[in-house]
Amino acid sequence: MKKIFTAMVFVLMAALSGSVWATGTFGPAPEMPGQGYFGPAVPDIKINGSDGPIVTGSHEMVTLELSMSPGILNGRDVDWWVGCQTPYQAPNHRYSWVAETLWWTNDIRRSYSGPLFEINSYKIATMPLSAGEWIFYFGVSDNTGLPVGNRLGIDSIQVSVMDTPESAQEAASVRLKKIFTEEKFKTLFPHANEGRASSIKDAAQNLYSYENMVKGLDSKDEFKVFISQADDTNKKLELAAILANWAQETTGGWPDAPGGYTSWGLCFYEEVGVRGAEAPDSMKPDERIKENERICNSFRYYDASGTAARDYLPTVAPSCPPISDGCFFGRGPIQLSWNANYGRFSEFFYGDKMALLDDPDQILRDPEAAFASGFWFWTMYNSSEFIPEKTCHNVMVEEGVKGFGKTLNIINGGIECNHSLPELKPDRQNPNVLVVDKTRRRADHFHAFAIEFLGEDTCKELFPTRPAGVATNAEEWNNYYKEILVGCIPGNSQ
């Protein structure tokens, strides 16, 4: 029977890739699209590796993937349902795929009737979708042939498809170069690579270059979604947002830095002061033990117990203290951290999760991989507990300026977001000036870069009014930062 269903899946793939759009539905939907009813059997449907909801463009490719955990019902005869709700008008608003005819029908009908069995992963189609709202379903029910029968498990995913031009299919770097030239790169990052700050001898000498950024962007088709959706203004805002986060993650700037601290992004290759860190010998033995424990807990970035992390463990656990080369501290433009993220990205980019799990420093030797890690996190990472099922790309496409705070919440929400802004304190050397922390500096980078791409006049309409000069009035500046960091700092209107 498995062979019958496997044949059904491959014919389904052929149908989807042909002239018929992937359309259809089966049975009653869960109460909320993107959620599921999981009884004894647990079906799972994903698009582009996500449980959704997702936002994509009409010329972007989406991949539909099914899996099934039959549980105690393994081998039981059931009705299988595969299909989706379409943005079209009746009678083309819903379709079911029927195994008996090996074709789609615009009606609610079962796809196949037969034993329930485990499906680890079937990528049944990769195709574009027309603009509109789609809901895809995958489920099983009692063997009655009726969709209103006893549902044993059903899952769904909502897909919002925006109408995008065919140019979205071109290399992402072609779009990038139209709005972000190498000359502009040098203007925004005049001190790129000056920090370097990597103790490995074979780290790339010019890791952060325009050429390497372009190579990283074009390295995977999945990155084509970057700056491909929404209008030209939001595309430029998305570009400003990703560069702002990279700049702050790798900044070598300080309050009185020449040209201002916003010009000192893409300096440091890795998290500063972490590699080799350990408590000084001068500390008392008991204090030294506690300090080393704190250092290891803070900067080893290694989780062997979490549900997701257990699938991404190195051959040998990284040692500490001191913080060893095998620890998963921040590296590259996005400062990729934690073993699970290294493993996921390594699996995606190299096709082997162990490539970076056993050698995380490879990111510093491979400039293309370094920038690819930044684009991967931006366009594909959707596992934030604070902004669930959304990528940085999603929130910028959907919300523009107001999405920026959410990108920070996705990147570093556990540390920088979901609490009040830190108190602005006077500078030690100049007490009349308030010291701006890294969270506020991200907003400064974003605003400054947006002006570079959109101009002062447009940004005055899009951004909250920035107080003039340096930070001196805490209340005035905090009001500005709270508004620009909506989605990160609580207590603001969403």
Q: What is the DSSP letter of 29?
A: P
pLDDT of residue 463: 96
pLDDT tens readout for residues 432-451: 888 888 899 999 999 999 99
- Determine the Cα–Cα distance for residues 193 and 51; give it in Å rounded to an integer: 38
Residue 17: enclosing H or E segment and its boundaries? Answer: helix 2-17
- Determine the Cα–Cα distance for residues 333 and 271; give it in Å rounded to an integer: 10
Please state, rounded to an integer, the average pLDDT across all residues of the chain: 85
pLDDT of residue 147: 53
Angle at 7 between CA 5 and CA 11, to 5 degrees: 115
pLDDT exceeds cutoff 90 at 11: no
How many angstroms separate the first and last alpha carbons of the chain? 51
pLDDT tens readout for residues 167-213: 555 678 988 999 999 999 999 999 999 976 667 889 999 999 999 99
Residue 4: enclosing H or E segment and its boundaries? Answer: helix 2-17
pLDDT of residue 104: 61
pLDDT exceeds cutoff 80 at 34: no
pLDDT of residue 16: 31
Pick 151 or 233 by higher pLDDT: 233
Candidates 220, 222, 269; CA nearest to 246 is 269
Residues 6 or more apart in contact with residue 269 via CB below 8 angstroms: 195, 196, 197, 198, 203, 207, 250, 331, 332, 364
pLDDT exceeds cutoff 60 at 334: yes
Which of 26-35, 299-308, 354-363 is least confident? 26-35
Per the confidence metrics, is the pTM higher than 0.85? no
Residue type, 200: I
Q: If you average pLDDT over residues 248-270, what whole number do you get?
A: 90
pLDDT of residue 90: 80
- Burial class for 57, CB neighbours closer than 10 Å (0-12, 13-18, 19+): buried
- Determine the Cα–Cα distance for residues 209 and 206; give it in Å rounded to an integer: 6
pLDDT of residue 38: 53
- How far is the CA of 199 from the CAs of 195, 196, 276, 356, 363, in angstroms? 12, 9, 9, 18, 14
* Contact (CB, 8 A) for 400 and 233: yes
pLDDT of residue 361: 97
- Report the DSSP beta bridge partners of residue 435: 425
Q: If you average pLDDT over residues 55-81, what whole number do you get?
A: 85
Q: Pull the structure tokens for residue 359.
A: 């050698």
- How far is the CA of 255 from the CAs of 48, 60, 260, in angstroms? 42, 42, 7
- Determine the Cα–Cα distance for residues 417 and 399; give it in Å rounded to an integer: 18
pLDDT exceeds cutoff 70 at 227: yes
* Rg of the chain in Å (alpha carbons): 25
Pick 163 or 376 by higher pLDDT: 376
Structural domains for the chain:
2-164 (2.60.40.10), 168-270+386-484 (1.10.530.10), 285-367 (3.30.20.10)
pLDDT of residue 231: 83
- Determine the Cα–Cα distance for residues 15 and 21; give it in Å rounded to an integer: 8
